[in-house]
A and B are shown apart, each in its own frame.
Chain A
Amino acid sequence: MNAISVNNLTRDYGTLRAVDHISFEVESGEFFGFLGPNGAGKTTTIRMLTGLSEPSEGTASIMGCDITRDAFHAKEHFGIVPEVSNIYEDLSAWNNLMFAGELYGLSQPERTRRARELLEIFDLTGFRDKKAQGFSKGMRRKLTLAMALIHEPEILFLDEPTSGLDVQSSLLLKEILSRLNREGTTIFLTTHMLEEANTLCNRVAIIVKGRLAAVDAPEKLKKTIQTTQSVEVSLDSMTSQVTADLTAIKTVTSSRHEGDKFRLFTPDPAVVATAIFEYAQAHRLKIISINTVGPSLEDAFLSIVQRQGDSRTEGRP
């Protein structure tokens, strides 16, 4: 059985379509990344999957339980760490955990045992009886994660869990997530950072403007995304001979005119830039401007969609 199964899920806010007919499956035990730039629809998707907002269209299920028709049972199977750490400031770390445990129906001995374990794992034992008010950002995130794990859920949702954390907290968090996953927890994590998705996830989906592009192994996506790096150049003479020569530079995969500039896509912008300098010198051309542009999820998305469109045999209207 799939841990998460999503079918044509859609969400409209007025006239804005925040999530547009996305479909995918996450298998039990996977570490699944949901990668996309800001405003892509990541949070909206997580909110629908966890019952915080209602889909406008489409369905989804968690461990086989439909998220709208059987919300109660769907919710028993997951824990969630939202974008903003939501702990009770007026309660101690311990009482926060006790409340979470009771909310999920754990007995007194169960929740006491789990809370002790979790405080230990998250290095919060010393803050057990301190009010969460004074906690640092990293501690809040850790307590939120501990609360999400109190009922030992099969699935864990995390919405940009490392954003805003210092390097050390972020590393510790990633370590804990990897360990949880090794021990069998299915993880669904959103991020706007390619590197994060690449190091943590088994499979990654890319979402841009509410639409889902490829769902693939992160290495493959990384390759695709790297080919979307580019060099933008403008020379004083831009004859078709010149642009053809530039496009022929090693490692350039494609090129296009953008206004008075010429854009060369390549996985290796530095090498291409050097080649352009040499070419300009040899041909006595003046460089008006030259610019390297880093990988862009939007371009990656477009190139993936294009590739998918090309390889599709049965055409769609």
Chain B
Amino acid sequence: MTTSSPPARIWRELRSAWAITKKDARIYYLRPGSIMFGILFPLFLFISFAIGRDLPAGVLVPGLMAISVFFAASSIGPMAVPTERKTKTYERMITAPVSPLSILVGEIVGGAIFGAIIAAIPLIIGIVFYGTLIVNPIGLIGVLVLVSFAFSAMGIMFAAIPTDNPGDVMMILNFIRLPLLFISGIFIPVSAMGMYGAVALISPLTYAKDMIQYVLTGTGYYGPFTDVIGMLIFTGIFLWIGVRLHERNRKSG
């Protein structure tokens, strides 16, 4: 059972990370907290925004998909990590031969898959009821992978807050997530924000929503290149900060 060669080691790490992903799916996808903050919350927000306005499906569906993946993907880490701190099962992973990075990657993929599944719901509704067309299906898959990974990484970064109560993390996270809805071209299009449009650039949700719209409808505000670069930069930041914070927690433990 020695894992001295680099490829064998990487393979081992990936398998352990995948075990963590599956564990998260089994345990946390159907928790009330995940359903509440990952599904119901964004759904009601969106309904209250869209109601009474005669918006075309080409605006509604990308917006709803962006919110869904944003909330859903970023909710699993903040549910799972504090819970496992409390039950000490998080320590089980730390004492296993798995690098700290692989633990986080496993947790992130767990949130990302949840986000992608939830995002598929508005898409299916759009296709069935509004006849939403997907201009670029392959692109859509790539976009969903990128976006759900990014937001799940954001959730994991917040899960580094050293608490064993998921509610604590959720509260701080919502303090960030909710304002972002208003500056990311979801409720108010960036083009209508005038000189304040530049503020949209500091929100990862801006790029996510724009790239989803682009692959669904063929048009976007910034264009795919800017969107992808913006999203990658944010993913990098979330990962970088997340790994450091989690590692600092472990060392002080």
**Chains A and B are bound partners:** yes
Contact with A along B1-36 (1 / 0, CB 8 A): 111000001001001101110110011000000000
> With A52-B250, A54-B251, A87-B89 in contact, do A102 and B95 touch (Cβ < 8 Å)?
no
Is B23's CB under 8 angstroms from A88's CB?
yes
User: A95 contacts which chain B residues (CB < 8 A)?
Assistant: 26
Say yes or no for B168: interface residue by CB 8 A criterion.
no
Give the distance in Å from the alpha carbon of A105 to the alpha carbon of B93 in the complex: 12
The chain A residue with its CB closest to the CB of B1 is A76
Q: Is chain A's binding surface mostly helix, strand, loop or mixed?
A: loop
Q: How many residues of A contact B (CB 8 A)?
A: 29
B59 to chain A, nearest CB (A): 40
Q: Are B89 and A75 in contact (CB under 8 A)?
A: no
A75 touches B88 (CB 8 A): no
Q: A53-B251, A76-B97, A105-B97 are in contact. Are A86 and B15 (CB under 8 A)?
A: no
In B72-93, the 8 Å CB interface with A consists of 87-89, 91-93
The number of inter-chain residue pairs (CB within 8 angstroms) is 82
- The answer to the question of A137 belonging to the interface, with a C-beta cut-off of 8 Å to chain B, is no
Which range holds the interface residue count of chain B? 20 to 34
Contact of B96 with A by CB under 8 A? yes
B interface: dominant SS:
helix
A50 within 8 A of B: yes
Q: Does A84 contact B (CB under 8 A)?
A: yes
Check: A73 CB closer than 8 A to any chain B CB.
yes
Given A86-B88, A103-B20, A105-B12, are A80 and B27 neighbors across the interface (CB < 8 Å)? no
Flag whether A174 is at the interface (Cβ < 8 A): no
In the complex, whether A89 has a CB less than 8 A from a CB of chain B is yes
A95 and B36 CA atoms in complex are apart in Å by: 26
Cα distance, A82 to B3, chains bound together (Å): 26
A72 at interface (Cβ–Cβ under 8 A)?
yes
Extra pairs beyond A100-B96, A103-B20 (6, CB < 8 Å): A52-B94, A72-B99, A86-B89, A89-B87, A91-B26, A102-B16
Interface residues of B (CB under 8 A from A): 1-3, 9, 12, 15-16, 18-20, 22-23, 26-27, 87-89, 91-99, 250-253
Q: What are 30 residue pairs bridging A and B, where the CB atoms are less than 8 Å apart in the complex?
A: A51-B94, A51-B95, A52-B91, A52-B94, A52-B95, A53-B251, A53-B252, A54-B251, A54-B252, A73-B97, A75-B95, A76-B1, A76-B3, A78-B95, A84-B88, A86-B87, A87-B87, A87-B89, A88-B23, A88-B27, A89-B87, A99-B19, A102-B16, A102-B22, A103-B16, A103-B20, A103-B96, A104-B16, A105-B1, A105-B3
Residues of A within 8 A of B (CB): 47, 50-54, 72-73, 75-76, 78, 80, 82, 84, 86-91, 95, 99-100, 102-105, 147, 151
